[in-house]
Structure 1
Amino acid sequence: MFNLAIPEMIFEKVEVDGRPGYEVTVCTPEPGPITTTGGLGLHVDRGLDALREADTVLVAGTGHRYEPDPRTVEAVREAAADGRRIASICSGAFVLAEAGLLDGRSATTYWELAEELRQRYPALDLKGDVLYVQDGQMMTASGYAAGIDLCLHIIRTDYGAAVANEVARRALVAPVRPGGQTQFTQTPLPPERGNACADTRGWAMRNLDKPLTLTDLARHAGVSVRTLTRRFHAESGVSPLQWLLHQRIERAKELLETTALPLDQVARACGLGTADSLRGHLVRRTGLTPSAYRAQFSRIGTAEARGTSSAA
């Protein structure tokens, strides 16, 4: 139920220019009552014909080993042949692999199932300890909450980091994380747990282009550096400077996506100083150089309000 609920929860929060960004349809080989774990019942109205209406097909796994339904395998294979974007969560990767869609491609699944996936489908390149993998039009996520990361990655690909991070905030989950992080990686910026430093955080966000120091932040908060650091860590789970660096990188990503500013201007606007500094921080955070990030996620010249329907 959790893997199936993730796409509905995440995609339904996307709004672009006041309109829904996605329409999510749940389908199954045999419409009607479905048995799930935990004693909960589920009723699904649509059959696999729904895949013909989809732009993205997302196969939700079960969290444990199972034999892919041949009807689902064939429907997913046909959807891929028609040019649909194909994704999976957890053991859903077995469906993609059984359809031959992962042959010669990088993929992942839940870590407890990784070795079995490797043995059953040796033609794929298993990345056993990452959150998610995209290889062309095929995307696979590891287990459970990594499905949230994959959905946010899809949103970022379609609408940009600003929209994806807004969805993350509304869903009270971590901002978009790069797929190369391990399945055991902690959240890069935990949810805030208080508001004593809220005004100072807001002030810092409005002044990211300035060379802010701990003394500057403490002066704004009206406390000592030591008190600020203690309160900040209690509320944010990170030090003030770690939080500040995270926000600078997020601002840089948004500027790379939404403007054509030269890299040195992007670096200055988000407080990272130079293009070289921007490059170093972005590579460490995302695995991409600023130019590569812009090439992949730039929204300039694209229709911001385009919609995508997704069938799980």
Structure 2
Amino acid sequence: MTDSPKTDAEAESAPAALEERKTRAETWFHTLRDRICAEFERLEDELSGENAARFAELPPGRFERKDWPRVEADGTPGGGGTMALMHGRVFEKVGVNVSTVHGRFSPEFAGQIPGAETDPRFWACGISLVAHLQSPLVPAVHMNTRHIVTTRGWFGGGADLNPMFPDAADTADFHGALKAACDAQHPGWHPHFKAWCDDYFMIRHRGEPRGVGGIFYDYLGAGLAEKNPFGGDWEQDFAFTRSVGEAFLEVYPRLVRRHFETPWTEQQRRHQLFRRGRYVEFNLLYDRGTKFGLMTGGNVEAILMSLPPLAAWP
């Protein structure tokens, strides 16, 4: 861990209490990673029928993990992370990454981050997942949650569904799971975070959404009401972040099982590659996580893990 400053809400807390909270958050992200990887490998084992025969030469996919270190601009250690990447019969490419990084923001970046304007030190930990499926009938998905500490501290993240062929039942179930996670905390959270997601995942140069949405939240913490009117109690904010991960783990494998054995055509596959092109455009032009990782010296391979293995443009 690093000696990052206390948040506004923790100004009266002992440094040990702050470190204990950071450790709890970090442990959760690693635990969630392990549970998701295990469930996705079960899906690889379950595939049967015609779609399994398409990939008869491939064994069920398994995650391969690769650690990476982060080094500050002055050469000092700045944390690091672990990539978990799988190429399989169900998942053409899925990455589930965790990282814990710390150091100092560059002067040009510090002014964009709450709490870093006067003290550029930071600590950040999180999980990031992107899944691109072999079947064009199974929706791609993105999920990430994170905890960031400067002189302030907050949680952020969310999940959004990116089908090639939108399915009303899938959309309803996905939104329903995330709504339940929100409603358990506050009835106003879901409409606010859903609208935030719809606005955030807009491909503005095309005037179209990246997918069918989900939720997006950021700056969920004390002293940040100007950016997010909810949150402020660390335990509640952490509980909500955990519930987002639990909701994802419950609903998304169910959607995969709903479609992963349905046969598909080459025409549907071509459409899938075109939709992936839209995904690439958003992530390279607009995604804040991509920009944050690149501007804080993150691992480029891990940051660009979100890009699909194949994509196409008309």
TM-score by length of 1: 0.29
Which of the two has greater strand per residue?
Answer: 2
Rg (Cα) greater in structure: 1
Which of the two has greater helix per residue?
Answer: 1
